[in-house]
A and B are shown apart, each in its own frame.
Chain A
């Protein structure tokens, strides 16, 4: 059995603790209902979960437009949705 440990990251300034191996997209959905805002102002959330639809983009450690369904949480990460 692989060992599970908890990881704490920050999402929009709020600390969130998840199991290791959790994608950022999944972590975001535990605290906030959307990842980004469309050009016409509509909220958007992860859809495909496999890096194709681009709806899960968010700012990770200051880098904008990261596909959060393709990134695993790492201790201390700062995630911002918009």
Chain B
């Protein structure tokens, strides 16, 4: 093939799909290379929670920007994406966490995300199956849920509609200096290469600071109305922060089908994708402390997936130092579904030398190269 692509994106998960749609929309001659199925990796394993998070100012900026982009797009999403703006309830389990509810509300308000504090009675009314009494919760009404593989499929379809090409199934053996070598020994040439391979990005760049963080999810049969919002315990941040130990947190989601998705677990250095029943039991027990009746529901499936975690919990977006042609859009940990749209916009603006809506600096891969040099 003598073609030189403007952009070749490696990976058709939700991040690669969003990048492809954004590049094609700019009229760039775009190729997407996928080794397996579109949206078949971490994208298919995740919950599909579109959520604003405030772990750091940069995370708040990217999730807030992205959540708004999803809401703009929601009118165009086909029914199979199952987009539903059900909102998130950050549930406090003691008075100390109620303090956190107020702190969180003022932070979100600084990012112009409106929220509502629910007291104990309002929370019980909003979610009748939660244990009582609980002190209250923070409601983020603009958060949503969707079905990620179909969302990735839609974005790819949009990219193709605007002229992008899919090259699949082909595994990429190497990508550098504007040349991608495929498993059939053919080569693609591109002005810019975007690695959007999630945790597998380290196959191409072993020096990337990305580690796999395993998660488990359980899905139940259909119980319409059992829960109405995505429910997350405020203690979730404590659990998500812990870098060294296995952890679980109460995090459950109503699906449009009436099913209930139950999470979440986090384990580093667990490379095996088999279900670890010990941690599933811990996860369900944790959820039952918030919703005692959960034990009477029937689960139909349990699966695992691997988040692409970075040391500072921020994704790698932008140019890879040392290779002018190489860009990254990877390392989104548990927020790839949410931040895919923001990542794509920020990356396209960066590649085209335009001013982005939010500053790209906190996500630039060079932050790790620098800190290593000074270590």
Q: Which residues of A contact B (CB under 8 A)?
A: 39, 54, 57, 63-65
Contact A65 B221 (CB under 8 A): yes
Contact B257 A65 (CB under 8 A): no
Residues of chain A contacted by B222 (CB below 8 angstroms):
39, 65
Residues of chain B contacted by A39 (CB below 8 angstroms):
222, 257
Closest 8 CB pairs of A and B: A65-B221, A65-B298, A39-B257, A64-B223, A64-B221, A57-B221, A54-B300, A63-B296
Expressed in whole angstroms, the minimum distance between the Cβ of A81 and any Cβ of chain B is 14
Interface string of B200-226 (1 = CB under 8 A from A): 000000000000000000000111000
Number of B interface residues, CB 8 Å? 7
CA distance A57 to B296 in the complex (A): 15
Residues of chain A contacted by B300 (CB below 8 angstroms):
54
CA distance A54 to B221 in the complex (A): 11
Residues of chain B contacted by A63 (CB below 8 angstroms):
296
Interface string of B292-322 (1 = CB under 8 A from A): 0000101010000000000000000000000
CA distance A54 to B223 in the complex (A): 16
Within 217-249 of B, Cβ neighbours of A (below 8 Å) are at: 221-223
CA distance A54 to B300 in the complex (A): 10
Looking at chain B's contact residues, is the secondary structure mostly helix, strand, loop, or mixed?
mixed
Q: Which residue of A lies closest to B221 (CB)?
A: A65
Residues of chain A contacted by B221 (CB below 8 angstroms):
57, 64-65
Q: Which residue of B lies closest to A54 (CB)?
A: B300
Residues of chain B contacted by A64 (CB below 8 angstroms):
221, 223, 298
Q: Which residue of A lies closest to B226 (CB)?
A: A64
Expressed in whole angstroms, the minimum distance between the Cβ of B298 and any Cβ of chain A is 5
Expressed in whole angstroms, the minimum distance between the Cβ of A16 and any Cβ of chain B is 25
Expressed in whole angstroms, the minimum distance between the Cβ of A6 and any Cβ of chain B is 31
CA distance A15 to B296 in the complex (A): 28
Expressed in whole angstroms, the minimum distance between the Cβ of A58 and any Cβ of chain B is 12
11 example contacts (A-B, Cβ-Cβ < 8 A) are as follows A39-B222, A39-B257, A54-B300, A57-B221, A63-B296, A64-B221, A64-B223, A64-B298, A65-B221, A65-B222, A65-B298
Q: Which residue of B lies closest to A37 (CB)?
A: B222
Residues of chain A contacted by B223 (CB below 8 angstroms):
64
CA distance A39 to B255 in the complex (A): 12
Expressed in whole angstroms, the minimum distance between the Cβ of A50 and any Cβ of chain B is 17
Beyond A39-B222, A63-B296, list 9 extra A-B contacts (CB 8 Å): A39-B257, A54-B300, A57-B221, A64-B221, A64-B223, A64-B298, A65-B221, A65-B222, A65-B298
CA distance A54 to B220 in the complex (A): 13
Residues of chain A contacted by B257 (CB below 8 angstroms):
39
CA distance A65 to B299 in the complex (A): 10
CA distance A64 to B297 in the complex (A): 8
Residues of chain B contacted by A54 (CB below 8 angstroms):
300
Expressed in whole angstroms, the minimum distance between the Cβ of B322 and any Cβ of chain A is 50
Residues of chain B contacted by A57 (CB below 8 angstroms):
221
Q: Which residue of B lies closest to A66 (CB)?
A: B298
Q: Which residue of B lies closest to A39 (CB)?
A: B257
Residues of chain B contacted by A65 (CB below 8 angstroms):
221-222, 298
Expressed in whole angstroms, the minimum distance between the Cβ of A52 and any Cβ of chain B is 13
CA distance A44 to B221 in the complex (A): 15
Expressed in whole angstroms, the minimum distance between the Cβ of B168 and any Cβ of chain A is 28
Expressed in whole angstroms, the minimum distance between the Cβ of B178 and any Cβ of chain A is 46
Q: Which residue of A lies closest to B257 (CB)?
A: A39
Expressed in whole angstroms, the minimum distance between the Cβ of B278 and any Cβ of chain A is 26
CA distance A57 to B300 in the complex (A): 12
